[in-house]
Structure 1
């Protein structure tokens, strides 16, 4: 059972870290280079299939990490797994309370009628995205160390 949980937390945290890293590396710069109307169109198209897939993976992996933290008796792996759980919870909080509200605002914007005083959300969205990417990478690293090094 524990080995299966190890595989699942590595798969989950690796998926989250990989997806967020890929978005930071490729999608964010591409969106930043677009004029506002094309950005709104592209952002809306790109965001269609994230929910509920990514929240389920993030929260599911967080719960598995918490379960493993309570089941693990060795202190170093338990601490690493707990760090991973906290970081994944951070990914969820940043996503839910920072990035998702920006996404909703962008999706309500009519690309054919962007006002002259439009507040471009891309720099703020990018900063929050980089934070959750860093948290996801720390979670994956902590899970990897916990299940392979001990």
Structure 2
């Protein structure tokens, strides 16, 4: 009898944890994707002067360089847990895993393409900007657009995975 109570409690715990994890995963990746989307659509640095580029990127780095990766990491952890929780339902587990991979690739791009450039740019002053600052800007921008697309696609796949997961969970058992 004790074993059945424990199993029942753990089943309730899993049933309660799943929607909480789903909500938090969506919120975190939506904040990441929305932030990168806003930068992509609102702050294309292609036409910026050197000073405007410098001030804009330094301001963004100061506000987002730690926060966005932490939110992305949280979304990755929660999406990974959801994939494991759905392991008995292969299509749903695969959808969660695909969302995880998309987010992970965006995170790798952030860490190894954008953040090293951010680290350099925050040390620049208007008088110390390198002569090739536009080439550096263009490389940063290219990788920013790629990570934005991956983040948005990761969000879309995560939402689809959650919808499928909820539909299958609420389907009557035979």
Q: Could you tell me the TM-score, scaled by structure 2's length?
A: 0.79
Match in the other structure for 2:69: 55
Match in the other structure for 1:43: 57
Greater RCO (Cα-Cα under 8 Å, separation 6 or more): 1
Work out the CA distance in 1 between the residues paired with 2:105 and 2:156.
Answer: 15
What is the aligned counterpart of 1:123 among 110, 123, 138? Answer: 138
Rate the CA distance shift 1:37–1:23 in 2: closer, same or farther, 3 A: same
CA contact (8 A) 1:9 1:64 kept: yes
CA contact (8 A) 1:37 1:114 kept: no
Match in the other structure for 1:9: 25
Match in the other structure for 2:152: 137
Superposed CA offset, 1:67-102 (max 9, x none) = 111111211111111011111111111001000111
Work out the CA distance in 2 between the residues paired with 1:6 and 1:88.
Answer: 15
Work out the CA distance in 2 between the residues paired with 1:133 and 1:83.
Answer: 16
User: What is the root-mean-square deviation of aligned Cα atoms in Å?
Assistant: 1.4
- Residue 129 of structure 1 and its aligned partner are, at CA, apart by 0.6
Larger-gyration structure (1/2): 2
CA contact (8 A) 1:69 1:81 kept: yes
Would you tell me which structure has more helix in proportion to its own residues? 2
Work out the CA distance in 2 between the residues paired with 1:34 and 1:22.
Answer: 17
- Residue 15 of structure 1 and its aligned partner are, at CA, apart by 1.4
CA contact (8 A) 2:21 2:78 kept: yes
Match in the other structure for 1:22: 38
What is the aligned counterpart of 1:68 among 82, 97, 101? Answer: 82
- Residue 47 of structure 1 and its aligned partner are, at CA, apart by 1.6
Work out the CA distance in 2 between the residues paired with 1:49 and 1:119.
Answer: 22
Where does structure 1 lack aligned partners over 5 or more consecutive residues?
Answer: none
CA contact (8 A) 1:88 1:136 kept: yes
- Residue 42 of structure 1 and its aligned partner are, at CA, apart by 2.2
Where does structure 2 lack aligned partners over 5 or more consecutive residues?
Answer: 1-16, 168-174
Q: Could you tell me the TM-score, scaled by structure 1's length?
A: 0.90
Work out the CA distance in 2 between the residues paired with 1:113 and 1:146.
Answer: 48
Matched residue of 1:103: which SS?
Answer: helix
